[in-house]
Amino acid sequence: MTTYTATVSSPIGDIALVGDGEALSGLYMPQHRHRPPLPDSAVRDNAAFDAAREQLGAYFAGERTAFDVPVAATGTAFQQEVWRALTEIPYGRTWSYGELAQHIGKPAAVRAVGLANGRNPVSIVVPCHRVVGADGSLTGYGGGIERKRFLLDLERGAIA
């Protein structure tokens, strides 16, 4: 299977998109933690990501609150469960790691939920930035805390 990649300019820097031409399997910001290396055979193809690029543009313009591009993120069954739950956090709202753990029916798994959240390979589209500390503080984010703050401010309407 061919891996395609493209770069999209955004207000938070260039975003790298990775996928198979059908679904998005990665969305990474500069210096993104846990970013896997691209295979040597990866093909640069902007057309493979037309829908994702269009939806990201609308999101950053404040015109889109959810994404409907196909996603094929690779992870454990538990990670997949956490990532699905992330898509249920309403635009402009945040949940704590504890609330996310409670939402998936595993209230004692707060730490594991945090680790799964941090390994989300399709950030923004699967909105891991909407998860904060129990006291509302901004905690770790694979793309960096300053980008997390920007995304939350964007969703709260603080950025015009």
Q: Which residues are the active-site residues? A: 128
Q: Nearest Cα to 139, choosing from 87, 97, 99? A: 97
Q: Which secondary-structure segment (H or E) carries 5? A: strand 4-8
Cβ neighbours of residue 4 closer than 8 Å, sequence gap 6 or more: 18, 19, 20, 21, 42, 43, 44, 45, 48, 49
Contact 74, 25 (CB under 8 A): yes
